[in-house]
Amino acid sequence: MIVLFWKIWYARIMKKIKIDVVAVPLSGHLYPTMNLLAPLLQNPQYEIRLFTGPQKKAVAEAVGFQVLPILEGHVKEFEKAANNKEQLGIFSAYRQLSASLDLINLVSDQLIQEWTNHRPDIVIVDFITLSGGLVAEQMGIPWITTMATQFAIETTGGPPCFFGGMGTPRNSWQVLQQFLGRKITYLGKRIVTFLLRDRLRRYHFKLYNQKGQETIYSPYSILGIGMKEVELKKGFLEHYCWVGPSGASVEAVEDYPLDLSAFPNRKKVLVTCGTQLAWAKDNLIYQTKQLAKVHPDFHFFVTRGVGGEAFQCEHLMENLSLVSYLPYKEYIPQMDYVIHHGGAGIFYQCIIYGKPALILPHDYDQFDYAIRGVEAGVAYTAKRDNSKEIGQAFDRLLAKENWPELENLRQVAQSYHPTEILEGEIHRLLATKEKE
């Protein structure tokens, strides 16, 4: 009723609500935001434009978005900054952020020019696409942050940011470890901000606002794309809203014609480490080969995660196929098990479709998703390069016949209403802006 009230009230004073969406052209960030906004494309009340990289223009337009490309002519620089050659460490993370700042400033220049001429009513920004929020705040435009993963945001309790793999504390020492980790995270961000202060000066950047909240996220509304039921962090901001899981692929399944009917008598296993992590692909293939030798009655499908090109399928072994790309939402339901890297998108797709998983975390927030999968009872985990450990974990996966926790979370995932929450937040922010 409240959402309906805001809709009716705002419709009286404005025919169209102009929404600009800003997201980097990385599948794990762009697709969750696109899936969240896609239902609004059919509503004539909204006029939606999407700012993202030209490499994702075609797939976004196929969904129905009007796309304004960012970083045209800088695709190589973006790919270099976004794709590290090895597992990220303290120094490589700093270099990655530093390299990204030049690109951030280029996007900011484009947004300032565009929004000066065509000012939106509200801006929706992926949480690592800093330009959108910084410029929106500068120009006094209400904005919403979409968070495809929750582990980057600071909270008052639970596992700290950037200390991947910490689960629920089991004793006082672990509680202390997590407390110290949160303090170290705070100090580390302070140091990085100081080192980059000259390059951030144009934004009059302050790491925290007067309320002690991180300024890189919206002070008005943060939409967490995920499930609070698997979260271990505590003490989220009061304007943090859980909207449920998303992250499904948006590519047309017709472009990736893998015929699974050719394998009727075998259990099927999808193996992937997403669209990034180029440095990890060879090891993933090697580890899958070891599993395929031990389990000839299973067929393993390894995806390289390279979309946007002609589909390819190569049979490396009698029971192992290497494919260029597979859209999750079409192919995961047809699998019996999934082996993956711990990315947010596939983590939740496994829950949505009730598929037990073996998680081999590689980088970023993947260690966090791995421990949450284990504690939630929906997955096992192993070290990505330990064949013996992977084999043992896969055997445990097969030996577990019943997955009641997985079935429960699958049902809970269906109880979220992301479109209703999104529209409610849009109208709430616009109503607040109108009162100012």
20/141 Cα distance (integer angstroms)? 11
- Write out the H or E segment, with its range, that includes residue 110: helix 90-117
**Percent over 70 (pLDDT), the chain:** 90
* 173 Cβ contact partners less than 8 Å away, ≥ 6 residues apart: none
Residue among 298, 301, 286 nearest 390 (CA): 286
Read off the pLDDT band of 86 (50, 70, 90).
low
Domains 2-244+416-435 and 253-413 share a fold: yes
Mean pLDDT of the 366-391 span: 94
Q: Give pLDDT, residue 90.
A: 58
- Helix ranges restricted to H, 275-365: 281-294, 328-331, 344-352
What angle, rounded to 10 degrees, do the helices at 27-37 and 418-435 form? 80
CATH of 2-244+416-435, one of 3.40.50.10490, 3.40.50.2000, 3.30.1220.10, 3.90.79.10: 3.40.50.2000
Both structure tokens of 77 = 């620089």
Residue among 126, 182, 189, 191 nearest 154 (CA): 182
* 323 Cβ contact partners less than 8 Å away, ≥ 6 residues apart: 256, 258, 301, 302, 303, 304, 311, 312, 313, 314
Both structure tokens of 25 = 């052209």
Amino acid letter, 112: I
Kindly report the CATH class assigned to 253-413: alpha beta
Span 356-365, pLDDT tens digits: 999 999 887 8
148/222 Cα distance (integer angstroms)? 11
Read off the pLDDT band of 189 (50, 70, 90).
confident
* 252 Cβ contact partners less than 8 Å away, ≥ 6 residues apart: 62, 327
306/195 Cα distance (integer angstroms)? 36
Q: What's the DSSP call for residue 246?
A: -
Contact status, residue 275 vs residue 250, Cβ threshold 8 Å: no
Read off the pLDDT band of 333 (50, 70, 90).
very high
The whole-model pTM stands at: 0.87
Q: Give pLDDT, residue 85.
A: 59
322/151 Cα distance (integer angstroms)? 32
Stronger pLDDT, 421 or 253, i.e. the higher one: 421
Q: Where are the domains of the chain?
A: 2-244+416-435, 253-413
Stronger pLDDT, 12 or 385, i.e. the higher one: 385
Q: Give pLDDT, residue 194.
A: 84
Span 43-65, pLDDT tens digits: 999 999 999 999 889 989 999 99
179/159 Cα distance (integer angstroms)? 8
Span 270-289, pLDDT tens digits: 999 877 777 778 899 999 99
Amino acid letter, 291: L
Q: Give pLDDT, residue 12.
A: 47
β-strands 320-323, 313-317 pairing:
antiparallel
